[in-house]
Amino acid sequence: MPRKHSPVMAKLSGFLALGARFLVSLAAPPLCRHCGASLLGRQNPYLCADCLKDIVWIGDGACRRCGYPAGAHAKLGNNCNHCRNMELPLTAAAATARYTHSARNLVTALKFRGETELAKPLAGLMAERFRSSGLPRADLILPVPLHPSRRRQRGFDQAAMLASRLSGATGIEARTGLLRKIRHTRPQSSLDRESRFGNVRDAYKAESSLSGLKILLIDDVMTTGATMGECAKACRKAGAARVYALVFAR
């Protein structure tokens, strides 16, 4: 017959396992999310110095409407070639970094590898970009929402985590539930540019309590702008006065 363990022994085994995991975490140094180099003793907790330099930061010259790095000619009110013919009901948008190399790996680590501790430093970088971008101060921060089934599958909502931490850095209230995804869609990353717009069309709904408010939409990545555009459209339909967007990578 299988040997039975007493409740005391079971609890003791649990404590021992927890202690073993703690000792392993002390012995194993933190690693760079991009190249795997040791970060032991380094000030930056997520990228080594070389990979941090690899990030292409987006500053002046980005399109004010869609946040795309459009060059020095981009001015307020002028659409870039990327969004000139696009239905994008955003008042303005800003992004922190180009979606390449190290920045892509940071997003992947947060979203798909569950390294949720990255939400805080990424939101900190987004807060810096928000302050330097010239985006007006909003009344409310809303994360681009996941469908409930995707949220259950992933176990967390990375955009909501970024929004919460950005709220702490900016003092602007963040709310979830006021913008919802009401239709399950295919992952945007699996589709070509044109298919992405149809995939998310009318997939979001905002509450009427947004009426008259200036909204700042938050997400980790904005590529074609299809998802952000649909979220902005839903907010506008609910009566939002202005809709801005801020993302980590573009």
Mean pLDDT of 221-248: 95
Mean pLDDT of 135-157: 94
Mean pLDDT of 28-53: 76
Per-position DSSP letters for 124-150, written without gaps between them: HHHHHHHHHHTPPPPSEEEEPPPPHHH
Dump pLDDT digits (tens) for 192-230.
Answer: 888 898 889 999 999 999 999 999 999 999 988 899 999
Domain 55-249 fold is Rossmann fold (3.40.50)
Domain layout of the chain by residue ranges? 8-46, 55-249
Among 89, 113, 132, 42, smallest CA distance to 230 is for 89
pLDDT of residue 21: 45
Chain centroid to CA 98: 13
pLDDT of residue 36: 81
Among 99, 86, 88, smallest CA distance to 58 is for 99
User: Which of 20-34, 72-86, 215-229 is predicted with the least confidence, judged by mean pLDDT?
Assistant: 20-34
Mean pLDDT of 241-249: 97
Confidence class for position 100, pLDDT limits 50, 70, 90: confident
pLDDT of residue 148: 93
For residue 46, pLDDT over 70 is answered with yes
pLDDT of residue 25: 46
Mean pLDDT of 140-145: 98
Confidence class for position 158, pLDDT limits 50, 70, 90: very high
Dump pLDDT digits (tens) for 171-200.
Answer: 999 999 999 999 999 888 778 888 898 889
Asked if residues 97 and 248 have their Cβ atoms less than 8 Å apart, the reply is yes
Among 190, 195, 188, smallest CA distance to 223 is for 188
For residue 48, pLDDT over 90 is answered with no
- Mean pLDDT (the chain) is 84
Q: How many helices (H) and strands (E) does the chain have?
A: 8, 6
Q: Which residue has the higher pLDDT, 102 or 214?
A: 214
Mean pLDDT of 47-67: 84
Confidence class for position 1, pLDDT limits 50, 70, 90: very low
pLDDT of residue 130: 96
- pLDDT above 90 as % of the chain: 50
pLDDT of residue 34: 75
